[in-house]
Structure 1
């Protein structure tokens, strides 16, 4: 005990010795003089209690038999008032009743018989104080642990609140960035539309396609309830699908693709990839640029630039091809003859499964009917017949024009047999084949 206390702690235990015989006290004081204890003496139980009331005592060793207050009573009162103080009974009598009382009421830690053995006395005191020191350290550490746990709980609660507040702040920032990014994307859509209108100024008015294409794409997306991102990408693709053509000559810009030869045809087949490369550096345009790259692919794999086939072609590119061809057929940019809207749709129906996704064609026809008032092909009562299938009493659903653009018959004209014969003869003379749009009256049965 002496080495431990001397090396590990500056604390010096206080030992109170209680005996009504002064000689016993002096003997004990001499024995403990060399020990690292502060030794106090008391000649009675009452005096011992006064000392303990005045200052902390680590260990009380009391004689068993004393007048007024014996050792058992003193140690019992010590236990009641100062339970942390170690209690030892010193007795010179084999008094079983005293021992039981001291153990039961004073809950003594040890008892030592008189006459004592000095070494045994010192060992008992040292072990008792070591045990007390260990117990105090255990209680201190437990208290420290509880305090630290409470501090950790408080810190965790504080951290959770701070994390929650920071998370909320970050979420708000992220939401603001998302809104800003969405606004940026919308600004890009507006910007691409403005730029497409400027680019179209290179073309004669009758060859400008982008405005119609943008509006048609929006009608289709609305009808098919497409998501905002797809709608946005398709709109930007429609606005800038032909940006790769701006380096062409004016004559090539307005020439029908079907009449291009050699070098010009190769340049034509390169324009989707050229358009993509011009737009890929703009982050919000990357998805739209990919749609532009593949909008001249064909369902049967004979398109360009990558010969994609079927559903390997992006959905948006398949839709863009339908819309581009529908508009460009009417502007004379694909075939030499300019088609009307119904003829263009008839062409698209004819090549469904070869040039176009057959699963998209009829939805596209309905979108075109909603987009253009002169489209009659979306009406189930309208049929397309050859001149030799015409019969007396049939009514034209739309104007009939010759290949050179000359008006032959007005919409609403009721056919008779002489008129049908004249159409057949004129068709043979021109070497043409006319598609005649016929609509039955509302009260007539549908045409087969």
Structure 2
């Protein structure tokens, strides 16, 4: 039944439509010409295409040349009876519906036809025309439904295969894209971390340059910054605010770059008149210098207010208590702790314990009591280093990581904290130490010791 076969190519739908437009083809096989004539008249009048054969052998020859939808075969025929003929039709053209026409009430013959030919229905002679037409019509409709079912099943299988292949392709593409995004993300994170590290390193270099002008002891700003950061961590500040405080501490003396040498070397308690007024303006000058850089605006605000007092008697704005930014309150304690020790505030250099006592005594007046409490926990614990071990230049090995900035004897930063040393850097460190005739303070840990 060519008009009901499942399409197998891209043009199948068009071919199927054309086939369905053609009338169904019937093959009537009977050895009695008058029976064939009656069947031909009946079915042609109903729009069917009718082929006839007077024997099973002739019927088989026709089937080899023609696409037939329904075969109606008589049971009693010479040489080849209907059961055998329909069995051969079933074997060679299984999609063609098979019907048996018999004038005998021979149950055994019908069973043989059913078993060998798997007939759709059997019809007894004489037949009722309308019953026979209805039977054939139902047979063709059923055949069409079965063909459509097979077509849809085949289409579903093909689409499922295509969908499976598409899913596999999509999964591969998604995995590849995910891997690419992961690599890009990791590269972005690494680049961002490098930028942050380079940014802080640049600030530290700039801080070293300020120290050369401000007559501070080598590494003074880094000591202040480290103390301020430890206080911020002790008070559970977030990473962004902690970094703002750290950078503010590194740059807190930037407003002094225009000071005269005399003003820079005079303790705060000996400043009067115009000199004192100029000194009190340096936090504002620092804020003005840093404000154009968006990343440093938080640090700039901290520097502006780090000389305010908790009791409101500070400058430049005379604000008090919690009105003072917390970062400024932390920087005030950290900066004064070291300024007291190197003579920037009073005429003599105080010991660390004396500086601690003065800061504790000024709690609630000059300093925020909460910040002083965090400061005391740090200095009283004695844990003032970031870990690692101190080594000589000759003990350095490739793969060691700096746990503190490597600073020269005059305060210049040579390498930043967290730098992983290689053979070339180690050789440069040893060469610098030899040429400068000063032993460097080097704190490191092995990468194997990383948590």
TM-score, with length taken from structure 2: 0.63
CA–CA separation in structure 1 for the residues paired with 2:136 and 2:314: 103
Q: Which has more radius of gyration? A: 1
**1:180, distance to aligned residue in structure 2 (A):** 1.0
Alpha-carbon displacement from aligned partner over 1:236-278 (angstroms, at most 9, x marks no partner): 3332234455577887766666667897687466567657634
Match of 1:10 among 10, 18, 22: 18
Q: What pairs with 1:36-435 in structure 2 (closer than 5 Å)?
A: 37-53=48-64, 56-203=67-214, 205=215, 208=216, 211-215=219-223, 217-218=225-226, 235-244=246-255, 267=281, 270=284, 274=288, 277-279=291-293, 281-282=294-295, 285=296, 292=303, 307=320, 309=322, 319-335=330-346, 338-352=349-363, 355-356=367-368, 357-365=371-379
Q: In the TM superposition, what is the alpha-carbon distance from 1:157 to its structure 2 partner?
A: 1.0
Q: Distance in 1 between matches of 2:150 and 2:310?
A: 83
TM normalised by structure 1 equals 0.64
- Native 8 Å contact 2:74 2:102 kept in 1: yes
Relative contact order (alpha carbons < 8 A, sep ≥ 6): 1 or 2 greater? 2
Count of aligned pairs:
359
Q: Deviations over 1:259-300 (max 9, x none)?
A: 678976874665676576344x13xx5665576567567778
> Residues 309, 122 of structure 1: CA spacing in aligned structure 2 closer, same or farther, 3 A cutoff?
same
Other structure's SS at 2:183 match: helix
The 3-state SS of whatever aligns with 2:72 is: strand
The verdict on how the C-alpha distance between 1:369 and 1:22 changes in structure 2, with shifts beyond 3 A counting, is closer
Separation in 2, partners of 1:298, 1:143: 86
- SS of corresponding position for 1:33: helix
Question: How far apart, in 1, do the equivalents of 2:308 and 2:76 lie?
Answer: 115
CA contact (8 A) 2:306 2:328 kept: yes
**Cα distance between partner residues in 1 of 2:114 and 2:311:** 104
SS in 2 for 1:84: coil
Cα displacement string for residues 381-422 of structure 1 (whole angstroms, at most 9, x for unaligned residues): xxxxxxxxxxxxxxxxxxxxxxxxxxxxxxxxxxxxxxxxxx
CA distance, structure 2, for counterparts of residue 347 and residue 97 of structure 1: 124
Aligned counterparts of 1:37 and 1:307: Cα–Cα separation in 2: 107
Task: Specify every segment of 5 or more residues in structure 1 that has no aligned partner in the other structure, as ranges.
Answer: 372-448
Superposed CA RMSD in Å reads: 4.4
Query: Contact 2:98 / 2:119 at 8 angstroms: preserved in 1?
Result: yes
Question: Which of 255-264 and 42-51 deviates more?
Answer: 255-264
